[in-house]
Chains A and B, each alone.
Chain A
Amino acid sequence: MDIRWRHDIDRVLSEAKEQKRPVLLDFSAAPM
């Protein structure tokens, strides 16, 4: 399975608070 990476970080942080869900934030240089 593929991970569904999100790139809209501000929106992710807002949704995490609303959904009470942790965030995995990856600072990456891997090919996109």
Chain B
Amino acid sequence: MYPDERVARFITDNFIAARVHVRDQAGDFVRFGERFNAQWTPTILELDPDGVERHRIEGYLPADDFLGQLTLGLGHMAFKRGDFGEAEKRFREVVDKLPRSDAAAEALYWAGVSRYKKSGDASALGETAHAFKQRYTDSPWAKKASVWSA
């Protein structure tokens, strides 16, 4: 995951990168593992500036899927702080740039929700449900969005 140039650039541009090693920092691994409920490696947490976990990735992922998850996490972080414009931008980034990644269907769902939360316009949800009839049709997110169909 990390040797990929795009991954390294994305992390450097968007986060303070911190690592706790299971053997070389055994004491810290136990202490922070208990604090953040991490018992397996790799476990990668996206924390907001107040140290609150906003997204969790457990296990190895290929670079595109990892990038998708990292971007999805930034979308969720923006959503939680009520910045729905930034949240939609991040979610759309996953759908547009990494459409085959595992995170894309979830990102499409939350992009629609973010647009609705920002605008109050329910057509954002209907259009999202319609989009799920064209793509990611077998995903659980398509089922969740189906209730928005007119």
Contacts and interface: CB of A to CB of B under 8 A. Distances in A.
Contacts of B2: 3, 30
Q: Interface size for chain A: under 10, 10 to 19, 20 to 34, or 35 or more residues?
A: 20 to 34
A24 B29 CA distance: 15
A9 B42 contact: no
Interface in A1-32: 1-7, 9, 12-13, 15-17, 19-30, 32
B44 A26 contact: yes
B15 A26 contact: no
A29 B32 contact: no
A22 B29 contact: no
A1 to B, nearest CB: 5
A1 B47 CA distance: 23
B126 interface: no
Interface of B is mostly: mixed
A32 B25 CA distance: 11
B150 interface: no
Given A7-B20, A9-B28, A27 B47 contact: no
A22 B17 contact: no
Interface string B103-131: 00000000000000000000000000000
A25 B49 contact: no
B12 A1 contact: yes
B102 interface: no
Interface of B: 2, 5, 8-9, 11-12, 14-25, 28-29, 32-33, 36, 38, 40-51, 54, 70, 74, 77
11 contacts: A6-B18, A13-B51, A17-B50, A22-B46, A23-B15, A23-B49, A24-B44, A25-B20, A26-B18, A27-B29, A28-B41
